[in-house]
Amino acid sequence: MAETFDFDLFVIGGGSGGVRAARVAAGEHGARVGLAEDDRYGGTCVIRGCVPKKLMVFASEYAGMPAEAAAYGWDIKAGAFDWTAFRGKMTDELDRLEGVYRKLLAGSGVETFDLRASIKDAHTVALSDGTTKTAKHILIATGGHPVRPDLPNAELGIVSDDILHLETLPKSMLIIGGGYIACEFACILNGLGVEVTQYYRGAQILRGFDDEARGLVSESMCHSGVDLHLGTNILEMSQAEDGIRVKSTNGSERSFDQVMFATGRDPSSKDMGLEDVGVALGRKGQIEVNEYSQTAVPSIYAIGDVTDRVNLTPVAIREGMAFVQTVFAGTPTAMDHDLIASAVFTQPEMGTVGMSEEEASEQEEIEVYSTSFRPMRTAFADQPDRVLMKLVVSKSSRIVLGCHIVAPNAGELIQMVGIAVKAKLTKEQFDATCAVHPTMSEELVTMRTPTRTA
């Protein structure tokens, strides 16, 4: 007699990946699906990540518009930024989006539990109300969370999740870290009128990205007013009368109204009973999975940031879709993690797909086509802002191995270029494409002579 379960699938985690897998399994494949989430539906991306961050990026960009508008003949007076009004409207929007996620699940027939869940055995989930649910398959999609460094008084500082809960914006803030979250919030808060200082222990921000591209972002951030200190880390922090007192490795000792740690994120896999049932965890706590997102326990799968593969929302969603295809459609489908385009929403933005110049040159001989210039819009306004358009090309196959853009709306541009790079088009196919003039991006199809070879 076949074993019966409460559900065909039980999903732990109500973020983008978990919700997509749950509703497609239920709505398109008729599976009996349960889902547990102990926080808000929508996960990091919708509630405390991509969506509110992008809204804050939009808000921060208005600061420079009056000066630019004046160059174009407009008399627009600069005003003060109202954080309370903006935050209220943003909170309403996040509430609306959470409601959409809940409706999508209900409409697909997914039974939801607003409870914390852990793993009891290969087919049993224990909920925080003391009940248990059995399932033929269990999918873990609990995401990740920001971490504070191991430092005395680290609790005095905030992390990215806390930004949305600030009642008022501080006059001054120290941001510690040099990754994309640190740099994005440095630009956002600087644009909103906060005096931003940034410490990063490395020689240049945005480690892992193309050197030329991250160099231009760093230069632009400094020019816009971010007080960036490279090769600098925090030694001590303490509460003082004039704020949070910070002693750093560069010998300085200063006070800030607020300190934000953007020093990394860890997978949210603790206290779930995973290792007790045989699920293997990596050094950071990431759930180890095979190409089909399956753990060492055949009935348990994991997707998204909790696996620490490529930590991007669209990747988690596609991993969720591949899981459903594998388990419920009978079509084993491995997620393709190669050539994924991404954007860093600094000011200016950076869009990237494929290999950096440094990475590619270690593998084969390459040609680099690169140009940096003042675009028409800002040049006319006599502003110093520069953009970068860059292609990394294989010398032997002529395939474009990577593209890196630093420019306003680079995220929008790299989505389109990502298609061409994913299709492994050659430099000559880029060259055969007629330019759209006058645009910044036409440089991607008009660069004929290599800047250098490597």
In total, the chain counts a number of residues equal to 454
Neighbours of 380 (CB within 10 A): 12
Which residue matches tokens 């599976």? 31
Asked about 437 being catalytic, the answer comes back as yes
Q: Are 392 and 363 in contact (CB under 8 A)?
A: no
Cβ atoms of 248 and 393 within 8 Å: the answer is no
The single residue listed with the structure tokens 């509460």 is 239
Q: What is the C-alpha separation between 407 and 387, in angstroms, rounded?
A: 5
Neighbouring CB atoms inside 10 A of 129's CB total: 9
CB 416 within 8 A of CB 430: no
In whole angstroms, what is the distance from residue 276 CA to residue 95 CA? 36
Cis peptide before 438 (omega within 30 of 0): yes
Round to whole Å and give the CA distance between 146 and 132. Answer: 29
Closest CA relative to residue 327, chosen from 111, 35, 26, 117 = 26
Q: CA angle, corner 355, sides to 354 and 356, nearest 5?
A: 130
**Of the residues 123, 165, 337, 437, which is catalytic?**
437
* Closest listed residue to residue 224, CA positions, set 432, 96, 403, 408: 408
- DSSP sequence for 87-130: HHHHHHHHHHHHHHHHHHHHHHT-EEE-S-EEEEETTEEEETTS
User: Residues with catalytic annotation?
Assistant: 437
